[in-house]
Structure 1
Amino acid sequence: MKKKVAFYTLGCKLNFSETSTIARGFEDEGFQRVDFSEAADMYVINTCSVTENADKRFKNIVKQAQKVNPDAYVAAIGCYAQLKPEQLAAVDGVDLVLGATEKFKITDYVNDLSKNDFGEIHSCEIEDADFYVGSYAIGDRTRAFLKVQDGCDYKCTYCTIPLARGISRSDTLQNVLDNAAEISSQGIKEIVLTGVNIGDYGKGEFGNKKHENTFLDLVKALDTVEGIHRLRISSIEPNLLKNETIDFVSKSKTFVPHFHIPLQSGSDAILKLMKRRYLTNLYLDRVAQIRRTMPDACIGVDVIVGFPGETNEHFLETYHFLNELDISYLHVFMYSERDNTVAADMEGVVPKNVRNKRSKMLRGLSVKKRRAFYEGQLGTNRTVLFEGENKEGYIQGFTENYVKVRTPWDPALVNTLCKICLTEIDEEGLVRFEFVASEVTI
């Protein structure tokens, strides 16, 4: 009988890509991968440390695994496992905790899957995380997350990612192209590029600061890979999103008009406290350049509320800045204190109830922005990629510029690209459409 292993991933697309690669390693060792809700001999939890909520969820996920199989071997990997290994090892039921360099060698640490009395820790000094492991995740039959870069050299005062993942380093251009070709050969229609700071793509291993290639080189090379229908850039820092990249995407055959650009605050005073590498004028310029070249592009924004020192005036600066900006949606994060960050010791702590209120205001603004963006797209012809899940009798998909559409479930549409005309917004806030082409392009 094959041993069974199940995985649970917290956090970002990068974590999902790494979980998939680690899971393939288990399959190569003769394990059978099963869903986390099923009985397994081993459960692997890939942790996140970006928000306080992700930390708290870990214990609940361990309990969830123990309910299904109390005798199962439980391993913790990922960012939180690197930052707080002793804390995770002390959780009842946890047998193994692996740090940033060890997680990719997890099968080397797994022997007979006997439960340990105490969690066994194998972790590194983060300076040792100076090599690169490529990975990609196929979440469903339609879309894959392709990791191109890891780590970060930035020193944002609120962030633990450099402590959890180490220095900025990248995959070789050839490896990225090979992985992209491998993904497309499996019938996947869309690839999303992921990393910690993908605009910094090109730095080699072992702390080599020299860029072997640039992010623009990467984008241009990927555009030539045969069989890829769509390429989507995930999150990219505004100071690293150059005009040349925007212009190339606007003319590209495969890169879609969708950008997600972290802002974090619309107040220059707060951006300086955060030690971000730009001010609001540069951000305005990036949005204006995208709109000049791609008027229908979707632009998403990350923003943090309740950072230490953020007064009502600073928050209103952010609110008005975003309200007047021609963007499409927001991802709103409520600031949470992280150990070993500069911000954790800053004065001007914003009460939790105030953080909550500000978060709600920006989430409300995001709903308005998305609605306005969708309304602006009505009457236009787009291409939709349909996903594989039957959601309450509907099939959903995204247009190239990230408008979410749905229509009554039809399995024949799964993983197909169709020409459509956007017609109306339904009661769920999604967009209905009419088919333009009777032929479905595959």
Structure 2
Amino acid sequence: MARVALHTLGCKLNFAETATLARQLVEAGHTLIDWDDVAEVYVLNTCTVTHQAERKAHKLIRQVRRRAPGAQIVVTGCYAELRPEALEKEPGIVLVARNRQKPHLVQALTSLLQGHQPGLPLPPPSQEWTFWPSSSGEGRTRAFLKVQDGCDYRCSFCTVPQARGPSRSAPPEWVAAEARRLAQEGFREIVLTGINLGDYGKPHGASFLDLLQRLEREVPPTVQRLRLSSIEPNLLSDAILDFIADHPRWAPHFHLPLQSGSDRLLGRMRRRYRRRLYEDRIEAIRKRFPLAGIGVDVIVGFPGETEADFTTTWRFLADLPVSYLHVFPYSERPGTVAASLPDPVPWPLRLYRSERLRELSHRKRWEFAQRCIGQVFSVLLETPTEGLTENYLRVQFCTEGPVGELVRAVITTAEEEVWATPLG
């Protein structure tokens, strides 16, 4: 069998799927090595959310060719799903597996290494989308559990429905069983992930709240923290917030994509809410969790974004009691409605506006950390002197503690870094 290196670009779902590929490769008899080492096979799991992600994929492929000229390169992921022809032209690539073919990749790779025809036994790329169960661990402290995939929304800027397929979910019994397995492996925190997490339930009918309630009942207490990844604001119901408020294991941390604070642009983006609903959801969170960590995704430079639109967005975010921003300059994606909209914003202006919002994010992080001074949190140690609180505040310690354990600590100072002192 072969020495195989894997690398992931993109979202937490991709990381979970790469981890599953790694487990399957080991079970098939292959040896895993670091990406920067000389391998016989390199497997790259790609992203296509921006043009920079695609450029990064080609850069990594060129680096592999220089480092290991005789190696075989396998590419999968969203870029492989949407633009396989762009990858098939690259020298050294022996197999391009689309997302819907990813569950069969290890079998196809093993067959290829045995001298069979490239691409066998991959099913045709036109096959029906299915849910591929996956999970990953981060430093043996936090585990990411994929419970949902795909999206039925049709935002005008987004290629995810084409790259990931329709919304579909893991059966709740599998999710509970996998969470128990992760508990047995020693993880103290499990993060639920999905492309459109709040849309969990298709096709089996269980709601997202049903899933949370089941996990609360069935996940062993050795898992001391459960967390949601990004969730659409229109899907974050009061019932979900009330459940999290009533069950202390669930982290008071919410990441809600906004994309724009301008209702006019939200309409052009084909988002399923307007700023009033978003503001209402932030208020609902703050009412229940005064010190919740709240993250925001925002796109700047969308076609037709005027200075007034940007100022509206900046002021909206400045006034919202949120903790941090993830800022993205708009990137044209082929095949999307937005790519053909008039009035594109020049790239220098997109970058300037991005920087202004990143400066605002820095201020928001500082203000949030200041509010946490003197408060006691549970810190999951990711290194002996650094960890993450339940409300997603990264903190430092002067003394060392046990990696992978939760430590009660009080926040003492918050400037460029946040410092905490363990209790007891």
Determine if the TM-score, normalized by the shorter chain, exceeds 0.5. Answer: yes
Post-superposition Cα deviations, 1:331-354, rounded to whole Å, max 9, x if no partner, equal 001100000000000001000011
Q: How many corresponding residue pairs? A: 421
**Do structure 1's residue 373 and structure 2's residue 402 form an aligned pair?**
no
Alpha-carbon shift at residue 107 of structure 1 (Å): 2.1
Q: 1:262 maps to what in 2?
A: 257
Distance of 1:125 and 1:95 partners within structure 2? 16
One-letter code of the match for 1:47?
Answer: T
SS across alignment from 1:413: coil
Q: Are residues 346 and 104 of structure 1, via their aligned partners in 2, closer, same or farther at CA, if it must alter by over 3 Å?
A: same
Distance of 1:334 and 1:123 partners within structure 2? 36
**What stretches of structure 1 of length at least 5 have no aligned partner?**
205-210, 389-393, 438-442
Distance of 1:121 and 1:301 partners within structure 2? 42
Q: Are residues 89 and 122 of structure 1, via their aligned partners in 2, closer, same or farther at CA, if it must alter by over 3 Å?
A: farther
**Equivalent runs, 1:118-129 vs 2, <5 Å:** 124=124, 128-129=127-128
Q: Are residues 124 and 355 of structure 1, via their aligned partners in 2, closer, same or farther at CA, if it must alter by over 3 Å?
A: farther
Alpha-carbon shift at residue 409 of structure 1 (Å): 6.8
Alpha-carbon shift at residue 31 of structure 1 (Å): 0.6
Q: 2:388 maps to what in 1?
A: 398
One-letter code of the match for 2:386?
Answer: Q
**Equivalent runs, 1:11-410 vs 2, <5 Å:** 11-110=10-109, 111-113=111-113, 124=124, 128-204=127-203, 212-224=205-217, 225-226=219-220, 227-388=222-383, 395-408=385-398, 410=400
Could you state the TM-score of these two structures normalised by the residue count of structure 1? 0.92
SS across alignment from 2:113: coil
Q: 1:207 maps to what in 2?
A: none
Q: Are residues 261 and 121 of structure 1, via their aligned partners in 2, closer, same or farther at CA, if it must alter by over 3 Å?
A: farther
Distance of 1:378 and 1:115 partners within structure 2? 62
Q: Percent identity?
A: 44
Could you state the TM-score of these two structures normalised by the residue count of structure 2? 0.95
Post-superposition Cα deviations, 1:395-430, rounded to whole Å, max 9, x if no partner, equal 3111111111012473x521111111100024xx22
Q: 1:431 maps to what in 2?
A: 418
SS across alignment from 1:286: helix
One-letter code of the match for 2:85?
Answer: E
Distance of 1:256 and 1:311 partners within structure 2? 37
Distance of 1:117 and 1:57 partners within structure 2? 29
Alpha-carbon shift at residue 311 of structure 1 (Å): 0.6
One-letter code of the match for 1:67?
Answer: R
Contact 2:112 2:120 in 1 (8 A): no
One-letter code of the match for 2:392?
Answer: Y
Q: Are residues 381 and 270 of structure 1, via their aligned partners in 2, closer, same or farther at CA, if it must alter by over 3 Å?
A: same
Contact 2:112 2:119 in 1 (8 A): no
SS across alignment from 2:385: strand
Q: Are residues 122 and 86 of structure 1, via their aligned partners in 2, closer, same or farther at CA, if it must alter by over 3 Å?
A: farther
Distance of 1:117 and 1:223 partners within structure 2? 47
Distance of 2:303 and 2:97 partners within structure 1? 32
RMSD in angstroms over aligned alpha carbons?
2.0
Contact 2:104 2:121 in 1 (8 A): no
Contact 2:108 2:119 in 1 (8 A): no
One-letter code of the match for 1:433?
Answer: A
Post-superposition Cα deviations, 1:121-169, rounded to whole Å, max 9, x if no partner, equal 968556x342111100112110111000000000000000000111000
**What stretches of structure 2 of length at least 5 have no aligned partner?**
none
